[in-house]
Structures are given as structure tokens and as C-alpha cells.
Structure 1
Amino acid sequence: MKLRFLGGAGEVTGSLYHVECGGLNFFVDYGTRQGRDEEREKTDLSSSVPPGELHSVFLTHAHIDHSGRVPYLVKMGFKGKVWATPPTADLVEVLWYDSARLMKEEAEWKSRKNLRRGLPPVTPLYDEADVENALKLLAPVPWETPTTVAEGVEVTFVDAGHILGSSSVILNLTEQGEETVRIVFSGDLGQQEAVMDRAPSVIREAHYVLIESTYGDRLHKDLEATRSEFRGVILKALKDRGKVLIPSFVVDRAQRILFELSLMQLEGLLPEIPIFFDSPMGVRATEFYQSYWDTLSSGVQDFLNRGLDPFQPKNIEFVVSPEDSRKINSQPFGIVIAGSGMCNGGRIIHHLKHGAWNPKNHIVFVGYQAYGTLGRRIVDGETELRIAGEDVVVRAKVHTIGGFSAHADSDDLLTWAGNYTTSPLFFVVHGEPKASRALADSLQALGMRSIVPAKGQEFSLSAATALKTEPHIVPISVDEKALAIMDELAGVLLELRREMEAGKQSETLMPMLLSMRVLLDAARKH
């Protein structure tokens, strides 16, 4: 019985965990990596089980960084079942088709560039046909329903409180003659006092627990402070007669923003200004939220009991067509909510292109921004960017409001971990190295055993060894450091290439590029 960390270890995106039990192979999640080259998305399979030999996939929730590569898995020969809760099964249909569309557009753009350079065309990771085939493999399972998926393998999904349908996955694994091993995959956990979703379910027993650590090293602002900050930004922008541009994940985060705007109107704080929800996918996702009212928080339920729709503030326009999306550019003020949340695609790109230069406008980030994404670069203070093929100087005011996160903060994570009564071994995953190490230290300070696994690391599982494994933090290997530096260099070179293509810095860069080539050639020879 083995557990391998193929993704989501030492990184926030690209979750992928490989479980082997009784000669059968299972994946928990198979998500994309934000800000990475498409070829890198294919590498995890090369070090894992062939897709045709994989028995099942268990999805913790629908977000692309947890589910986004499942259609690629199907394309490569996977024919087993994809187990998930009913809301997750509904949401992935929307997200996968949108992902396929974005991949197609990006591949076409890269292919046109390659054609001019005499290079081969680019093929997307997967297409709509692969999505259609993947959807046929979905096997919805209600929460709190133990389900036997193979001999010796039982799965139970319990509420993780993160987004609609999100779950922690509990696997009870039994090999012949051995004691059953219980391993819990937290998935992305929500806050203990959530606004949109219910609090994460309490789990008492496990031998091993994989716990996420996105915000393992920090606390969110409290709800009232977060709301005050958000409302202040909105009202300041309206006073400036500018636009508020909100890049948003269109599943859960967008619905949360709509709910907050509805509350502002209900309290008489927000005039009936134009509000644009510019995302066909987001509109579909909102319909699913309306189909699963009973799974949402008591606060949302109270709103509904007043006869109000929490996701439909007054004067909102749900924008579907590209033509209507472009018309927003001529609107001098208002609120625009659009995907993608990290600004690595979607309609927010053209809104930034047309609005980031204006000092009257405000850009409000309400979610995590991964390394390598346009959103992260804006948050980090870069002011000269190339957006949708044009150079843009960012003069709009930039805000980051972390309290809207659908993720647990460090206190929430420690509270969730403290519910266990069986002294499990915690594997700290799904976080940048600093956050994962901080959470591991906090767990150990409270008397709980924890490990920060490295990508590619493998563990043998048994009920006996779970109690004996010494906690430790795996240092980043030299090879991993080298790969991380190569990733950074690749990003720098790509940006320099864009600048040179735009006619910038070519003369001053050439001597440095020649020197770099000499150094890299020397490194390759040694």
C-alpha cells in the first residue's frame, strides 16, 4: 500500500496524489498548474501509472487546479470512473469545456507565431471531444455515503466547506491480511465561520491526513474588517467615477462578490450603479448554486427566506456574448466581475487592457494569485505589462482583499486538524514552501506529527507504521532548486522576447544574452 505525491507538494496548484492498494491504482485529484507551460502539464503521467491501468479518480472539488487535467487523462487512455459529489459533477462540465476553449485559443495563437518562425503547430492539452468523453465517466456520490469502489477500497466524501460541492475524501484501504488503513485528503478547506458555505465537517479518526496549507502561515482579516475594506474600495471608486475591475474565480468567489454587493444594496450603502458579471461560465455556475441552496450557509438561507436572491443585486447584467462584453469598455464607471481569477485568461484580460491604465479605476483581487500569472505580477507591483498583445502601464489602484478567500487560514486549519482523536500523521501539502513549513511547525508545536513531503516522494502505508513515523520536513533537493530556477529563467526569457518583439531593448539586451548563452553552454557540457 503506497502513497505518492505527484503534484500539490511544495506548490499550490496541480494537485495529484497517487494511491496504490491491492495492486490497484487510484488518483486523488488531477489538477492543472497555473502559470506553467503546457508541456510541463504532461510530465506527471510519465513518472506514474499508465492511464489505462488506473482504476479510479476521486475529485475533492471542481476547481481547475484540482480537476483540470482529467480530460487529458481520458485522452491518454483512462477508462475508469471519476468519483465526485453531485454539485462537483455538475460544475466540472462547465469548467472543463471552458478550459478546453481557452487551450484551443492559446494553441491557435502559439501556432500562428510558430508558423512565422518555421516551427511546428501547437496542440492543446485536450479538446471538447476529450471533455465529452471524460463527462461520461463521472460517478456522482452524495456526501456522507460510504461507497465501495473496488475490493478493499471504500470512499466517503464529507463537506470541506470550500466551494459548492467541495469535499474531503476519506479512503478506507484494506489489503489481504492487513489492518484497514484510513487516509484523509482534506482537499481545499473552507473557513470555520464561512459566509457562503457550511463549515468543514469534523473528522475524528484517521491514520494519515493530507492537509492543505495555502494560507498555513497567515491569518485572514476578520469578516467585518474585510467587508469594510471591500466596501471602502467600491465607494471610493464610484466617488472617482471610475470602474472597479474584479478578477474572480467564477465558481464561488464570484457568487460571494455578488452576495456582498446584494448586502450593500440591502443596507442602503450602494446606489444602483451598473454591475456586470461578464462570464458565460460564471452565469452557468450561478445557476448551479441556485440548484443546491440547501448545501449553502445559514446566512445565505436567511437571505432566501426574505424572498431575495443573494446572487442577483439590482441593476446587474449577466453578460454572455462577446459583443456585449466589448460594450462594457465604453461604460465610464461601474463594477465589472470577470474571470479568470488569476488573470491568465478569460474576459478580464481585455478589461485590464482597456482599464488598467486609468488612475481613476481600481483593480480588486479577491483570491490567491499563483507565481507566474498576470495577476501575481500586478499584485507584486509591476507597472509595465504586455496585456492582450499591447503594452499597458498600470496606473489603476491595486487592492488585495484576502478575507474573501474560500480557503481556511492557519487558525482554521489547526482547528480542523485538532478534531482528530487518533494521532494521525499529517502530510502538509497544497502550499508554497514557506506556508507548508509554517503549518507543519504549528502542528508539531501543538503535539501533532507532521511531514512536508517533496514532489515525487513515496510512502508505504500501514496502520502500524503510521504511529511510528517520525515527523520531519523534507528539504528541497538541489535538483528541485535547479528546476525552480530554470522555471524562473524561462519566464524571464519569455518576457524579454515579448519586449524585443515589441521593439524594446534589443541593442542593450544582446550582449547579456550572448553572455548567458556562453554560461549555459558551459553548464550543459559539465
Structure 2
Amino acid sequence: MRIRFWGAAGEVTGSCYEVECGDRRFLVDCGVHQGANEDERNREPFPFPVEGLDAVFLTHAHMDHSGRIPYLVRKGFAGPVWTTPATARLVEILWNDSVRLMKEEAEWRTRKAVRRGLPPVVPLYDEKDVDKALKLLRPTDWDTETAAVDGVSFSLHDAGHILGSSSIAFKLSEGDRATRLVFSGDLGQQFPAVDRAPSAIREADYVLVESTYGDHLHKDDAATREEFRSVILTALKDRGKVLIPSFVVDRAQRLLFELSLMQIEGLLPEIPIFFDSPMGVRATELYRMYGDTLSGEVRRHAAAGVDLFSPRGFKNVSTPEESQKINEVPFGIVIAGSGMCTGGRIVHHLKHGAWNPRNHIVFVGYQAYGTLGRRIVDGETELRIAGEDVIVKAQVHTIGGFSAHGDRDDLLAWGGPYTTNPLFFVTHGEPKASQALSAALRERGMRGIVPALGQEFSIEPGASTATMEAEAKPAAAVRTPQAEIPGVLDDIERLLERLRRDEGALADTEESRRLLLSARTSLESALRGKTAP
């Protein structure tokens, strides 16, 4: 029996693991890569034969775990995709939205390519691939033992991360030998507000555990709630708009939950509250539909007839016309995607509202370097937003405790109940975070190792209870720095195209001139390095 790490090893994106049991092979997750060179990386051939794959097991709907499954189908996969009913409904929303965005991006890049005499750009996958992938979904309830293929049975357990998220416990059999292998998936916090706490699993020989925040402790949830309430109430005193960029699955529902509680406790009057995201509206309907899988607080209020995802004054916004009419509303709260302001309707609202000193912008999630959200958080006041120069005068706030991921102590608490002394493979984290969690496991008498991207391990039955460690073997698919250069050049080319396409994208300042000259010097240095004897 073997396991191979094709994604989310030394990184927090592109989750993909291949397991071999006898003559059976299957994947756990098959997600897209997000961040630098993402298009190039997502178009790379799969590092394993697609033909002969018996199944895919999906931990949850987030695109870094699910988003490459339609591409796998395009390349010939036709086996079952096992997941929970809620995840199956969520990926239908996310995959179709992804198709729309990829189609728009491909059309823009094709127009550019045609001018240069290059072939058109084809999206990673299309509607037909999504339709085929959706037909392969096999919804399975939590805590139900299921035989997938000969020698492979599994059960799904609540991971407490987002709606429908799961840890997966496998029993792998070869003859009379059996190995118990657990994948944590992304794990939520031990004391969540909207979702339930992750389920404890007690028996395994090997465990793959995520480590996104393996070196970090979140702010106390009560303190986060108090901080959020203080910011909202302070902002509303100015009688302007509160603009909240948000991820529209899980984070947006948490915000609606918090605003509803404020009203129930008499802290917040009925005011206009807009949720401006068609995809988010559909996702929220699923949270209502699967409310029995959520936290005790959500279920108690639902039993009393209170919908915590619909505060008084709340309005879902679907059409572009409805979104534009929000410009005429001088006062209220606007929640819109995307969470990092890289696209979506929040960009429109920032263009029309960031200039107003009576307005407030509240960030409730991580802002990656280089995104519009990060530039606002970092204090830039002169920005190009949706084709217009905007002076940012709105007050800016950040709330850092609403993560759907557990922190270091949450992860250790999830790993603690095992009674079989499993070997932990620490994955899905930046190297520093993974190494920190592995060290913390060892400090508590447990065993943890950090696999590298592309490594292969033998997972023999019973090995975890012996003194031997899993045997690591290097794989041929590990990326090199040289392999990333074409994607970097593509990124530079796209940035240049945006600068040429958007008149006035750069402010006419000495700082802009200095940055451009510095970039030119760096490119000249790279060229000299390439051509030097």
C-alpha cells in the first residue's frame, strides 16, 4: 500500500493525494492551485495515470480541494466521486461559477492572443465537463461505513470546517491484512459558532492532518465577536455605508449570523443589510436546507422559528441592476464577494464608496499580498478601482478571528483522542506551520513527519504500532524553480497588458516612475543572467 503527495504538501493549495491498495488506485481531493502561476500549474498534466483511477473522495467543496475534478473528468476519469450531500450541492454552485469566470478570462486572453497571431485560449474545462462531473457524485451521509471498491471501505465524519466538510476514515485491505488511514480534510475550530465541532476519530494507523495554522493561535471567539460588534456600531454612528468584502461560502453566513445575534440582543436596530452575491445567496439557502448539521445555537434558534441567516432589514441581491441600486442607498451594511477584492461586486461598491469618509470598510479575512484588499489594508489611499482613480477616505478595519480553520491547539485537540499511536503526516500548510505542528505532536508523545511535494510513502499494515517509520521515496514530479519561470513571464505580461489597457492605471507620480524603472532594471538583470556565458 502506498500514498503519494501531489498537492498541499509544503503549501496550502492544490490538495491532491493518491492512494494505492493492491491493484486499486484512488484520489483524496483534486483541487486547483491558487496564487502565483495558478493557470500554468492547473494546466499541467496530472502526475499519475488518469486511466485506471477507481474513485475520488472529496473532503469538502472549497476549490483548492474540489476545483480540478472537472478537469480530471475532461482527461478521462469516469469513476465515482464520494462526498457528503451538502458538499455535492455546494460544488454544483462553485464549479458552475468557476466555468463562468474561466470563460470570461479565456475570452479576454484570446482577444490579446489573436492580435499577436497566437491560437485562442481554451478554458481549463467547460460546462459539459462540469455536467459530467456532477453526474459522478455519490452523496454519502456522515458516520456510515461504505464499501467503495474491492479492498477499500470508508466513512465520512464531520470536520467542522464549512457546510458538509468531512474527515475520511479508510479501511484498506490486502488479503487478510488491513490498514486504517485517516484524512483530516480542513478542520474547523473546537468551539465553532455556525458549524459543529470536528468529530473525534479514535483508531488509525496513519493520519494526514492539515496544518494551515499549525504555528498560530486564533484570537478568542468572544473577543473576536466583541471586536466585530464594536466596529459595526462605531461605523453606523457615522450614518454611512459599511462595506464588507467576504468569502461567500461560510464567512458570509457567519457575518449574517453575527448581525442576527446583535439584533436579538437589542444591540443593532433594523437597518438595510445587503448580501450582494448570487452565488452566496444560493450557498446560504443550502445552509438553511442543511441546518440540522450546524451548531447547537443555529439549531435552537431555528426550532424557535428564528433564521439566523436573515437579520431584520436583510435583502439578497441577485441581478446587476439590483446591485447598482445600492449606490442610491446612503446608509447600511453591504456584504459582497470577493473576500480579497480581486473581483466580484465588492469592487463596484468600493469604487462608489471608498472615497467617502463617512463610510467604513471592514475586512474579515486574510488579504493576500498584491490584492486590492491587501493594498487597502496596508494603507494605500490612491488606487485604481474598476477603471477609475479613487482616493480612499473611508475608515478601514480588520477583524482577524473569523477563520473556518482550527488553530494549533484545535488541531492538537483533534489529534489527541487517537488510542492507536498513529503516524501523522502533516500536510496542507506552509513549511513553517507544518514543521511547527509536527514538533508540537512529538512534544506530546505522538509521531509526526512532514512529507514533501511529490513524495511517496509505503504504508504497511500495523507499521504505525511498531518502531519503524514510513519509507519516503522521491517522486519525479517535484517542481523546480526553472519550471515556474514561464508562468512568471505570463503574469508579467498580463500586468503590462492591464497597464496599457486601463488608461491612468498608474498615478502620475515620482513613486510610480521609480517602481517602473526598478522593474525594468530587474528584468534586464534576469535577461543578462540567462544569456551570460
Q: What TM-score do you get using the length of structure 1 for normalisation?
A: 0.91
Deviation of the 1:464 alpha carbon? 4.2
The aligned counterpart of 1:17 is 17
Q: How far apart are 1:383 and its partner, in Å?
A: 4.9
Q: Tell me whether 410-419 or 113-122 shows the greater mean CA deviation.
A: 113-122
Q: Which amino acid aligns with 1:519?
A: A
> For residue 523 of structure 1, what is the aligned residue in structure 2?
530
Give distance in 1, aligned partners of 2:240 and 2:255.
Answer: 18
Aligned equivalents of 1:276, 1:334: Cα separation in 2? 8
Query: Is 1:307 matched up with 2:314?
Result: no
Aligned ranges 1:3-152 → 2 under 5 Å: 3-43=3-43, 45-50=45-50, 52-152=51-151
CA distance in 2, matches of 1:380, 1:491: 23
Q: Cα–Cα, structure 1 residues 472 and 147, in superposed 2: closer, same or farther, change >3 Å?
A: closer
Residue 135 of structure 1 aligns with an amino acid whose one-letter code is L
For residue 29 of structure 2, give the secondary structure of its aligned residue in structure 1: strand
Residue of structure 2 equivalent to 1:162:
161
Following superposition, the deviation at residue 386 of structure 1 comes to 4.2
**Count of equivalent residues:** 523
Q: Is the 8 A contact 2:160 2:187 kept in 1?
A: yes
Contact 1:35 1:373 survives alignment (8 Å): no
1:488-503 aligned within 5 A: 494-495=494-495, 498-499=498-499, 502=503
**Residue 278 of structure 1: how far off its partner (Å):** 0.7
Deviation at 1:267, TM superposition (A): 1.4
Tell me how far 1:486 sits from its aligned partner: 8.4
Distance 1:413 1:508, change over 3 A: closer
- 8 A contact 2:32–2:42 mirrored in 1: no
> Partner letter of residue 447 of structure 1?
G
How far apart in 1 are the matches of 2:115 and 2:391? 28
Which of these residues, 401, 421, 424, is aligned with residue 423 of structure 1? 421
Residue 409 of structure 1 is matched in structure 2 by: 407
The aligned runs of 1:443-482 (5 Å cut-off) are 443-466=441-464, 467-470=466-469
Give the Cα separation in 2 of the matches to 1:482 and 1:397: 43
Answer yes or no: is the 8 Å Cα contact 2:158–2:198 preserved in 1.
yes
Amino acid at match of 2:78: K
The change in CA–CA distance for 1:5 and 1:377 in structure 2 (over 3 A counts) is: farther
Please give the per-residue CA displacement for 1:290-309, whole angstroms capped at 9, x wherever unaligned.
11121111111121233211
| Native 8 Å contact 1:158 1:169 kept in 2 | yes
Q: Secondary structure at the match of 2:426?
A: strand
Deviations 1:217-275 (A, max 9, x none): 11111122111111111112212233222222222211111111111111121122211
Q: Secondary structure at the match of 1:402?
A: coil
Q: 1:120 to 1:438 in 2, by over 3 A?
A: same
Residue 513 of structure 1: which of 505, 517, 520 is its match?
Answer: 520
Distance 2:488 2:243 in 1: 28
- 1:93-140 CA deviation, whole Å, 9 max, x = no partner? 111111111111222222233334444332211122211111100001
Structure 1 residue 356 displacement after superposition: 3.3
- Partner Cα separation in structure 2 for residue 222 and residue 83 of structure 1: 35
Q: In the aligned structure 2, how far is the partner of 1:387 from the partner of 1:43?
A: 30
Deviation of the 1:409 alpha carbon: 1.1
Amino acid at match of 1:145: T
Report deviation, 1:46.
3.3
Q: Kindly provide the CA deviation profile for residues 478-516 of structure 1, in whole angstroms up to 9, marking residues without a partner as x.
A: 975676798778756754664465464579846852663
Task: Report the residue type matching 1:280 in the other structure.
Answer: P
Q: What per-residue deviation string (whole Å, max 9, x for no partner) do you get for residues 421-454 of structure 1?
A: 1111111111222222221221121121111222
Q: Distance in 2 between matches of 1:109 and 1:89?
A: 31
Contact 2:241 2:358 in 1 (8 A): yes
Asked if the contact 1:83–1:140 (Cα under 8 Å) also holds between the matched residues in 2, the reply is: yes
If the length of structure 2 is used for normalisation, what is the TM-score?
A: 0.90
Cα distance in structure 1, aligned partners of 2:394 and 2:493: 27
Tell me the secondary structure at the aligned position of residue 123 of structure 2. Answer: coil
Query: Unmatched 5+ residue regions in structure 2?
Result: 507-511
Matched residue type, 2:63: I
Alignment partner of 1:4: what SS?
strand
CA–CA distance in structure 1, aligned partners of residues 389 and 440 of structure 2 = 44
Q: Tell me how far apart the structure 2 counterparts of residues 216 and 395 of structure 1 sit (CA, whole Å).
A: 36
Helix, strand or coil at the partner of 1:344: coil
Mapped contact 2:458–2:471 kept (Cα < 8 A): no
**CA deviation after TM superposition for structure 1 residue 474, in Å:** 12
Comparing 116-125 with 7-16, which one deviates more in the overlay? Answer: 116-125
Contact 1:258–1:312 (8 Å) recurs in 2: yes
The 1-side partners of 2:357 and 2:212 are apart by 32
> Secondary structure of 2:138's match?
strand
CA 26–428 in structure 1, closer or farther in 2 if over 3 Å, else same: same
- Summarize the Cα distance change of 1:3–1:295 in structure 2 as closer, same or farther, 3 Å threshold: same
SS of the residue aligned with 1:78? coil
Give 1:379 deviation, angstroms.
4.1
Higher mean alpha-carbon deviation, 186-195 vs 378-387, is at: 378-387
Question: Which stretch of the first structure deviates more once superposed, 344-353 or 439-448?
Answer: 344-353
- 2:401 is paired with a residue whose SS is helix
SS in 2 for 1:241: coil
Instruction: Give, in angstroms, the shift of residue 191 of structure 1.
Output: 0.9
Deviation at 1:277, TM superposition (A): 0.5
One-letter code aligned to 1:10: G
CA distance in 2, matches of 1:4, 1:455: 9
User: Does 1:201 pair with 2:199?
Assistant: yes
Do structure 1's residue 237 and structure 2's residue 235 form an aligned pair? yes
User: Residue 299 of structure 2 aligns to a residue in which SS?
Assistant: helix
Cα distance in 2 for residues equivalent to 1:372 and 1:207: 42
Please give the secondary structure, in 2, of the residue aligned with 1:198. coil
> What is the distance in 2 between the residues matched to 1:36 and 1:125?
17
CA contact (8 A) 1:34 1:373 kept: no
* 1:468 Cα deviation from its structure 2 partner: 3.6
Describe the shift of the 1:382–1:6 C-alpha distance in structure 2 as closer, same or farther (beyond 3 A): farther
- Aligned AA for 1:448? M
Secondary structure at the counterpart of residue 218 of structure 1: coil
Q: Which residue of 1 aligns with 2:509?
A: none
User: Structure 1's 203 and 359: CA in aligned 2 closer, same or farther, altered over 3 A?
Assistant: same
Using the aligned pairs only, state the percent identity.
63
Alpha carbons of structure 1 residues 131 and 231: separation in structure 2 relative to 1, 3 Å: same
Q: Deviation of residue 60 (structure 1)?
A: 0.5
Does structure 2 conserve the Cα–Cα contact (< 8 Å) formed by 1:158 and 1:167? yes
The separation in 2 between residues aligned to 1:152 and 1:332, in whole angstroms, is 62
Task: Please tell me whether the aligned partners of residues 96 and 131 of structure 1 are also in contact (alpha carbons under 8 angstroms).
Answer: yes
Distance 2:260 2:518 in 1: 57
Displacement after TM superposition at 1:411 (Å)? 0.9
Q: Which amino acid aligns with 2:530?
A: A
Assess, with a 3 A threshold, how the Cα gap between structure 1 residues 48 and 379 changes in structure 2: closer, same or farther.
farther
Separation (CA, whole Å) in 1 of partners of 2:238 and 2:419: 54
For residue 310 of structure 1, give the secondary structure of its aligned residue in structure 2. Answer: coil
Whether the 8 Å CA contact 1:35–1:372 is kept in 2: the answer is: no
Given the alignment, which residue of 208, 211, 215 partners 2:209? 211
Cα offset for 1:401? 1.9
